[in-house]
Amino acid sequence: MCHHAFHDFIRNKIYKGSSPISRLKPMIIKVGKFIGFMQNSSNYSYIDNKVINIKSELLCREAEDDFYYFNKINDAYKKLTQAVKLTPTHIKSLILLADISFIKGKIKKSLSLYAIAKSISPDNKKIIAAIANCNYVLGNYSQALFYIEKVIEKLNFENYELYSQLLEIKINILFEQKKYKEAYSTFINLKNYLNKISFSTDYNINYELLSKKINLQKKVQKSNLKII
């Protein structure tokens, strides 16, 4: 599985159904005026016991439009950078900025931003999965496997897409580490899991992975490993 495809999946799941800014901005302004914070210079509102800067929220929504609707990645990047500067705990800005940083090839920066987001939302499965993916791309395989296992134990049946893609990453790592026996076992687990959800049309089995299975069997035979 391409790591960019994985991040597309994560990003779409987090921001699926984002509203265009033209509809959202009037609502945010009305809320700000209603709570009486728009009259002072700080422009803060309290949401879920966290301080959110109204301007940061607007910048984030504008960045979402730039990124999702107009493909203006650089404009979105600049606005999100400004939003995070204004409100370092604005998690939506942090995550989308991390996503875009990843796409731009700034993997280490992406990882650091996800880490900050995780400190704010420690149980967010998609953030932890993204951290695992970043570590995988950077070659930090032990860290990637650590976070993969951490996410998998939290997933339920509704998260089958994320579960399947994380197992694919795990298999790729085990291949890189030449742990073919464990890779084969993980592949069988993935295959059995996909068979259980075969009624779903939302997920297509990665045929590249099936090819890897064949190559794996050849390597296992050459290594004289006994697969139980």
The amino acid sitting at 27 is M
Q: What is the pLDDT along the chain (228 residues), one digit of tens a residue?
A: 556 666 665 555 544 444 454 444 444 444 444 334 333 434 434 444 344 578 999 999 999 999 999 999 999 999 999 999 999 999 999 999 999 999 999 999 999 999 999 999 999 999 999 999 999 999 999 999 999 999 988 887 678 888 888 998 999 999 889 898 898 888 888 888 777 776 444 445 555 665 666 566 666 656 555 444
Instruction: Report the C-alpha gap between 12 and 7 in whole angstroms.
Output: 8
Instruction: Report the C-alpha gap between 25 and 106 in whole angstroms.
Output: 30
φ, ψ for residue 39, nearest 5 deg: -80, -15
Per the DSSP assignment, residues forming a β-bridge with 52 are 45
pLDDT of residue 192: 82
pLDDT of residue 170: 94
pLDDT of residue 160: 82
CATH superfamily of 1-122: Tetratricopeptide repeat domain (1.25.40.10)
DSSP string, 20-66: PHHHHHHHHHHHHHHTT-TTSSS-EEEETTEEEEHHHHHHHHHHHHH
Percent of the chain with pLDDT over 70: 63
Instruction: Report the C-alpha gap between 170 and 157 in whole angstroms.
Output: 19
SS3 133: helix
Instruction: Report the C-alpha gap between 52 and 42 in whole angstroms.
Output: 10
Instruction: Report the C-alpha gap between 13 and 155 in whole angstroms.
Output: 15
pLDDT of residue 216: 65
Instruction: Report the C-alpha gap between 136 and 125 in whole angstroms.
Output: 16
pLDDT of residue 184: 87
Block residue for tokens 């860290």: 143
Q: What is the pLDDT of residues 130-177, one digit of tens each?
A: 999 999 999 999 999 999 999 988 887 678 888 888 998 999 999 889
> What are the CB-based long-range contacts (under 8 Å, 24+) for 21-25?
21/58, 21/61, 21/62, 21/64, 21/65, 24/61, 25/58, 25/61
pLDDT of residue 135: 97
Q: Count other C-beta atoms under 10 Å from residue 174's C-beta.
A: 21
User: Whole-model pTM?
Assistant: 0.69
pLDDT of residue 18: 46
